């Protein structure tokens, strides 16, 4: 009896040559590093060097997070990945009433250039690649990073990294939006233009399916809605007067990797193929780098369990393997205790060691795309591609990603998928080890890492000191220039940088833009 994949597609017990009848290897596969990039975006993939090993970290104060980053670098991580707390993600200062109880809880609190300076103190920004999981206020954090680099004597053209900067998925699945879609897209276009001139090696957006998957999206939904968002961003930049080949090579993506290895490998291969065709055929991109879907992967936090948390070590290893077999460019492996609390130093180190075992103790880096030609993988790649294209066509029929978001389409589809998963788990049809099968009568005690609640008061004190010391007239003048640019068509990043240099806070800059652009109020799904 056939099983179903996470996307609801049949998985047959046995696959043979008939599964690929009429299948054209030249069209579907190609060569590694060449169109349609099914087999990977680089000819040698990991045979020359492994993927970038990133570890997502950030909690409490900038000082605490800085210490964690230095430990990760010492343990062999190749790139930093910054988690920000919810007030920072929503553009609020730590002493704002709305921030109460959330300061430093799910990431590091960054209120001003002063905090950013501490966060990267003693870390040479010309030697590390930094990814920042920040969306609505992405421009602010990028500019503060640039300012810290300037203070270190690092020219902006030496800075490398990524800002997530994907606000459309916030409306769909995550909720840390600030402004309505149109000004948000304008801000993203301004970031593209600014980085082309000022920070040319920076990846200006990481178009994210990860958070949709964590909300319950199937693999087909994950890539369909992510690529539809990507199309919207490209259209926005082209409409703003940019040539597609001027910015498309700096686009990157962010996906989840689940425990279902076969479908995850197929998903990544299908996503590369779809994106290459879209960029070539719809947008007329000529630069081969514009056709490449380069992506970061994070193992599936939603699949981690608080019950028997050590079992998550196995889950993460399997998920990491799926990402590597699927051809990721960088990888974060979750710590086994993340379903309980922020990871401890030991669990974060174990998560990194998981990647190092995959890279240096297995043979998966010895050859490019080891599953190419597999009957099951090629069939599943075709089927995931077809399912994703069907969903993308529905988004197009609604007028594109923004219009579909405003009608609640993507959110509704993801919620249906999440409900199906919940029903299957509750009924026992979907086995979750330690949760609905193979339980323990008594769970072993585990002491989690806890964030000191005094951090909120400490950040408030830092803000009070900053406001007392700075030149308030200079801050007011810079914020006035920012509002003027937001009301017109000038690139807002230049006056924004001036305001941040003058020690305006994240909340003050975002509030200035709120006064001009307003805030997003979600519409009821149809």
Q: What is the pLDDT of residues 414-462, one digit of tens each?
A: 999 999 999 999 999 999 999 999 999 998 888 877 888 899 999 999 9
Handedness of CA 478, 466, 464, 95 (dihedral sign): positive
The residues, ordered by sequence, that sit 6+ positions from 285 with a Cβ below 8 Å of its Cβ are 244, 245, 248, 279, 291
d(CA 457, CA 453): 8
Whether the pLDDT of residue 524 is over 70: the answer is no
Reported as a single tens digit per residue, the pLDDT across 481-497 is: 999 999 999 999 999 99
Of the candidates 191, 107, 199, the residue with the CA atom closest to the CA atom of residue 146:
199
Handedness of CA 404, 410, 413, 419 (dihedral sign): negative
Of the candidates 493, 448, 406, the residue with the CA atom closest to the CA atom of residue 188:
493
Mean pLDDT for the stretch of residues 372-385? 97
Of the candidates 425, 424, 417, the residue with the CA atom closest to the CA atom of residue 172:
417
Whether the pLDDT of residue 345 is over 70: the answer is yes
Q: Tell me which DSSP letter residue 522 carries.
A: P
Which of 134-138, 239-243, 451-455 is least confident?
451-455
Identify the H or E element spanning 499: helix 493-501
Three-state DSSP class for residue 430: coil
d(CA 300, CA 316): 8
Which of 80-84, 114-118, 229-233, 491-495 is least confident?
80-84
Q: Tell me which DSSP letter residue 333 carries.
A: P
Number of H-type helices and E-type strands within the chain? 20, 11
Q: 136 versus 449: which is more confidently predicted?
A: 136
Mean pLDDT for the stretch of residues 38-60? 93
Q: Which residues pair with 53 in a beta bridge?
A: 331
The percentage of residues in the chain with a pLDDT greater than 90, rounded to a whole number, is 91
Average pLDDT, the chain: 96
CB 344 within 8 A of CB 351: no
Q: Residue 503: what pLDDT?
A: 98
Q: Residue 451: what pLDDT?
A: 81
Kindly tell me the burial class for residue 316, based on how many C-beta atoms sit within 10 Å of its own C-beta (0-12, 13-18, 19 or more): buried
The percentage of residues in the chain with a pLDDT greater than 70, rounded to a whole number, is 99
Mean pLDDT for the stretch of residues 235-260? 97
Handedness of CA 153, 157, 159, 162 (dihedral sign): positive
Q: Which residues pair with 130 in a beta bridge?
A: 80, 161
CB 242 within 8 A of CB 193: yes
Residues shown for the chain? 526
Tokens for 400, please give them: 């594109």
Q: Residue 79: what pLDDT?
A: 84
Q: Residue 55: what pLDDT?
A: 83
Mean pLDDT for the stretch of residues 183-196? 97
d(CA 338, CA 107): 13
Mean pLDDT for the stretch of residues 494-512? 98
Three-state DSSP class for residue 437: strand
Whether the pLDDT of residue 467 is over 70: the answer is yes
Identify the H or E element spanning 198: helix 181-198
**Long-range own/partner contacts, residues 41-44 (CB < 8 A, 24 or more apart):** 41/272, 41/292, 41/293, 41/294, 41/327, 41/329, 43/368, 44/368
Handedness of CA 264, 268, 270, 274 (dihedral sign): positive
CA 28 vs CA 2, 65, 385: distances in Å: 25, 45, 11
Whether the pLDDT of residue 525 is over 60: the answer is no
CB 307 within 8 A of CB 434: yes
Three-state DSSP class for residue 129: strand
Which of 37-51, 317-331, 449-463 is least confident?
449-463
Mean pLDDT for the stretch of residues 223-236? 98
CB 172 within 8 A of CB 411: yes
Q: Residue 195: what pLDDT?
A: 97
CB 338 within 8 A of CB 301: yes
Mean pLDDT for the stretch of residues 283-302? 97
Mean pLDDT for the stretch of residues 180-199? 97
Confidence of residue 526 (pLDDT cuts 50, 70, 90): very low
């Amino acid at each position: 009896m056939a099983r179903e994949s996470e996307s609801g597609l049949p998985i047959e017990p046995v696959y043979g040559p008939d599964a690929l009848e009429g299948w054209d290897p030249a069209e579907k596969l190609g060569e590694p590093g060449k169109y349609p990039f099914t087999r990977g975006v680089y000819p040698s993939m990991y045979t020359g060097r492994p993927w970038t090993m990133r570890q997502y970290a950030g909690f409490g104060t900038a000082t605490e997070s800085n210490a964690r980053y230095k430990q990760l670098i010492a343990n062999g991580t190749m790139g930093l990945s910054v988690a920000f707390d919810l007030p920072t993600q929503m553009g609020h200062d730590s002493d704002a009433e709305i921030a109460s109880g959330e300061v430093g809880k799910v990431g590091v609190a960054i209120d001003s250039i002063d905090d950013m300076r501490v966060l990267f103190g003693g870390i040479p920004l010309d030697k590390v690649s930094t990814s920042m999981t920040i969306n609505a206020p992405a421009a602010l954090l990028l500019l503060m990073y640039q300012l810290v680099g300037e203070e270190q004597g690092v020219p902006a053209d030496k800075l490398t990294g990524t800002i997530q900067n994907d606000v459309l998925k916030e409306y769909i699945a995550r909720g840390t939006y600030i402004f309505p879609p149109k000004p948000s897209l304008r801000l993203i276009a301004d970031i593209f233009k600014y980085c082309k001139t000022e920070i040319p090696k920076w990846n200006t957006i990481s178009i994210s399916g990860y958070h949709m998957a964590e909300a319950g999206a199937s693999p087909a939904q994950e890539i369909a809605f992510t690529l539809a968002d990507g199309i919207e961003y490209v259209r926005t930049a082209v409409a703003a007067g940019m040539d597609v080949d001027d910015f498309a090579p700096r686009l990157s993506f962010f996906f989840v990797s689940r425990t279902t290895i076969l479908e995850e490998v197929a998903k990544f291969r299908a996503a590369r193929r779809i994106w290459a065709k879209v960029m070539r055929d719809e947008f007329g991109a000529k630069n081969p780098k514009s056709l490449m879907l380069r992506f970061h992967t994070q193992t599936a936090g939603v699949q981690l369990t608080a019950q028997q948390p050590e079992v998550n070590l196995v889950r993460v290893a399997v998920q990491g393997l799926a990402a590597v077999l699927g051809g990721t460019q960088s990888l974060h492996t979750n710590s086994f205790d993340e379903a309980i609390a922020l990871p401890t130093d030991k669990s974060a180190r174990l998560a990194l060691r998981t990647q190092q075992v995959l890279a240096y103790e297995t043979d998966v880096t010895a050859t490019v795309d080891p599953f190419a030609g597999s009957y099951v993988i090629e069939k599943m790649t075709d089927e995931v591609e077809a399912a994703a294209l069907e969903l993308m066509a529905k988004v197009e029929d609604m007028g594109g990603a923004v219009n579909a978001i405003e009608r609640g389409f993507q959110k509704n589809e993801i919620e249906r998928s999440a409900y199906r998963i919940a029903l299957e788990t509750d009924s026992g049809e979907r086995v979750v080890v330690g949760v609905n099968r193979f339980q323990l009568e008594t769970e072993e005690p585990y002491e989690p890492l806890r964030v000191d609640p005094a951090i909120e008061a400490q950040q408030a004190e830092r803000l009070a000191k900053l406001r007392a010391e700075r030149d308030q007239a200079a801050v007011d003048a810079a914020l006035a220039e920012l509002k003027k640019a937001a009301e017109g068509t000038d690139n807002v990043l230049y006056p924004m940088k001036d305001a941040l240099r003058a020690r305006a806070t994240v909340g003050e800059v975002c509030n200035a833009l709120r006064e001009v652009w307003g805030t997003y109020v979600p519409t009821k799904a149809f």
